[in-house]
Structure 1
Amino acid sequence: MKDQTEGIKKKLVEAIRSEVDALEESGLTRTKIAEKADVRLSFMSNFMRANEDGMNGLAIPKLIQMASGLDLKIELKVLKKDSSGS
């Protein structure tokens, strides 16, 4: 279960960072991006600088909130494991 949670978190972080990079390249300031993502500027700056260990404290709902604020569409696919366990 923990691996799945970490995988979801990692994908959300990658998508958010990619979108923030794209918005910065388009000329939007990090302050405006933080407002759009509904987070404080200091949080956004730390988020963009943090390594994988720094992401451990982030909650998935917070990441979903940020992604939503950045107009990212999130889709979750849940599949049942087959009888072989994979």
Structure 2
Amino acid sequence: MDSFKESFVNRHIGPASSEQTAMLSFLQTKDLNDLVKQATPATIRLSRALDLQQGLSESEFIDRAKEVAGKNKLFRNFIGLGYYGT
């Protein structure tokens, strides 16, 4: 399943490498980072890298989601039992 995690970007439609190079050249930028720097005001850009955890494969995510969902607690609901507007 890790092969899906590694090839996620390649499984989605996007510009080919040659198309990306042509677009960056047209915009007079050297790479995508340069494009982002030119397009995003410095006042809203982070000056440090995000501290993100390692990505999960789909099956790992499902396992983790089930684990988190298992912590939910059910409480009695009184909506519709005559406690409002009657």
Q: What TM-score comes out, normalization by structure 2 length? A: 0.25
Which is bigger in relative contact order (C-alpha 8 A, separation at least 6)? Answer: 2
- Which is helix-richer, 1 or 2? 1
Bigger radius of gyration, 1 or 2?
2
